[in-house]
């Protein structure tokens, strides 16, 4: 932690580690270790949710000498190997959050994957077929799990880690037709019931870097593919 009590957080998502060895993040993780106090990963850590992809990422994470906190994304669920992937990453030292909170140097980190559902007046309601109701129930459940995790935070500052977006501003640039599948306002409604220093998410590769919740919490789309002020794959936030 810096002398003035601030914490430098490097955040990046959508690494999409492949199992063919064509991608390496060793240099990136080494660089992050030199400029930040904490590395935050916002999901889609693997490309197809294969345990071997997680093993390759875990190997690269050996180059990271600072605490790592993160969540999983939808791609990490693709092969129904979430438990194995989670175990591999936790054994590599990642504080993988799924409805929990953890603290690093006086800053609370809260994480859930989040889910789809849409935004504002266009948000999907629980009406009609069971399949629609199940989708809305999942979206509500993720928001409730986020709220329960926020209530665990005892630190004066908090960072929320998501994969799905809580606001439409940071997915601007994606086709309007897929907005409902990129996040949900229910997440922002939960966030705005608490004091939050920053929210980070990924998922929207063609989105926009920065926005705010209706309550004013700063939100950052830190997907690797998004252009950031650092000029690098990761964002660098001072908390």
pLDDT for residue 21: 82
CA distance 40 to 224: 12
Domains of the chain plus CATH, in order, are 8-238 (3.60.21.10)
Model confidence at 22, pLDDT cuts 50, 70, 90, reads confident
pLDDT, one tens digit per residue, over 154-178 is 999 999 999 999 999 999 999 999 9
pLDDT, one tens digit per residue, over 193-221 is 999 999 999 999 999 999 999 999 999 99
With a CB cutoff of 8 Å and minimum separation 6, the contacts of 145 are 98, 99, 112
Residue 1 has pLDDT above 70, yes or no: no
Per DSSP, 112 falls in state -
Name the residue among 223, 104, 235 with its Cα closest to residue 162: 223
């Amino acid at each position: 932690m810096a002398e003035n009590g601030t914490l430098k957080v490097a955040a990046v998502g959508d690494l999409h580690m492949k199992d063919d060895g064509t991608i390496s993040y060793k240099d990136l993780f080494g660089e992050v270790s030199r400029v930040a106090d904490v590395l935050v990963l916002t999901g889609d850590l693997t490309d197809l949710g294969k345990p071997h992809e997680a093993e390759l990422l875990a190997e690269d994470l050996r180059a990271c000498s600072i605490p790592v906190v993160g969540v999983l994304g939808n791609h990490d669920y693709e092969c129904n190997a979430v438990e194995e992937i989670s175990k591999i990453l936790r054994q590599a030292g990642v504080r993988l959050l799924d409805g929990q909170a953890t603290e690093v140097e006086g800053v609370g980190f809260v994480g859930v994957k989040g889910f789809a559902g849409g935004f504002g007046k266009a948000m999907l309601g629980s009406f009609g077929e069971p399949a629609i109701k199940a989708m809305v129930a999942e979206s509500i459940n993720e928001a409730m799990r986020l709220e329960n995790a926020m209530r665990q935070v005892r630190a004066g500052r908090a960072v929320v880690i998501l994969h799905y977006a809580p606001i439409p501003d940071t997915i601007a640039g994606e086709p309007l037709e897929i907005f409902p599948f990129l996040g949900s306002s229910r997440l922002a409604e939960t966030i705005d019931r608490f004091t939050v220093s920053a929210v980070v998410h990924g998922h929207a590769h063609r989105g926009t870097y920065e926005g705010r919740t209706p309550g004013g919490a700063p939100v950052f789309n830190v997907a690797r593919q998004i252009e950031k002020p650092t000029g690098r794959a990761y964002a660098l936030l001072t908390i």
